[in-house]
Amino acid sequence: MWRDTVATGWFAIVMLACTSTGSAYEVIEVRNGGTITGSVALTGTPPPPRQFTVRKGAEVCGTNRVLTKVEAHHGMVRGVIVAIEGVEQGKPFPTYQAKAKGPGHGEFHYTGGNTMNLGVHLKTCSFGPFTGVMMADDIIRFVNHDSIKHILHTYALQGRNTKMLKTVHTRSLGAESQTEKVFPAKRLRHAHAVALTCDRHDFMENWLYLAHNPYYAISDETGHFSIDRVPPGDYVIVAWHPVLGMQEQHVTIASHGRLAANFEFTK
């Protein structure tokens, strides 16, 4: 009798463990969604662009490169991730491409749908725009279009004061090759962003915010952003930039409502 009880209990525990896959985002039709718009401003002087002398693969990368980490125009910041946390159901992930501003021409391709489906296309020694988004437990495809090798090195930004970069994965990407990688949520449980770097080229540095849903936007050249079809409710909205840091606001979205949320960073 006791053996049956133990076996049944063990079976139940195993089944529970197998079916508990966490709180995955679910795509549903959003009929009464609201919209959040806003802007991101910067007070103070942004850090100057960093200059690099290219030592490996200069025939592809160029002999000198510049890395602009904070791009601000008339006090407004480009490239800040604005994300709504805690949305578990809603619109599908968007389909779009984000291209680097140069001198490299890397691209982030988001196929979208039920998951983010990110593809990182390395071109002329660039992963893509300085900031972007990614999802844990989602397949990410890295495609090297260059005729030289890159060594992909990803770090999780974590720690109480976000002063720690922890290696998640490294991969040698041969000339014109590709690889796929899933970044497990377990490895990223203490992280809020992932740095993409190339061990061979120190000017290749990009940051992907760990989004959990498609309710995010990246501020444009005028510092503005817009997030639509947000299911009504109370949320925390986060603005994050790898250099400027993180800010949060608590917001309430009404049915078909429009809400303004502005952020201001100081440097």
User: Which of 109, 200, 212, 241 forms a contact with other proteins (CB under 8 A)?
Assistant: 200
Nearer to other proteins, 55 or 256 (CB): 55
Based on the shown chain and the rule CB under 8 A, indicate whether residue 182 belongs to the binding site for other proteins. no
Q: Taking the complex as a whole, how short is the minimal distance between the CB of residue 117 and other proteins, in angstroms? A: 23
Stretch that binds other proteins, among 109-117, 128-136, 182-190, 228-236 (CB under 8 A): 182-190
Q: Which is nearer to other proteins, 134 or 157 (CB)?
A: 157
How many residues lie near other proteins (CB under 8 A)? Answer: 30
Residues 50-109 close enough to bind other proteins by CB under 8 A: 55-57
Residue pair 147/60 in contact by the 8 Å Cβ criterion: yes
168 lies in the site for other proteins, by CB under 8 A? yes
State the nearest-atom distance from the C-beta of 73 to other proteins, in Å: 27
Q: 171 vs 258, which CB is nearer to other proteins? A: 171
Instruction: Give the footprint of other proteins on residues 201-260 (CB under 8 A).
Output: none
Query: What's the CA gap between 93 and 114, in Å, rounded?
Result: 6
65 versus 91: smaller Cβ distance to other proteins: 65
Chain positions 148 to 167 lying near other proteins, rule: CB under 8 A, are 148-149, 151, 153, 155, 159-161, 163-167
User: Contact residues for other proteins (CB under 8 A)?
Assistant: 55-57, 148-149, 151, 153, 155, 159-161, 163-175, 179, 184, 186-187, 199-200
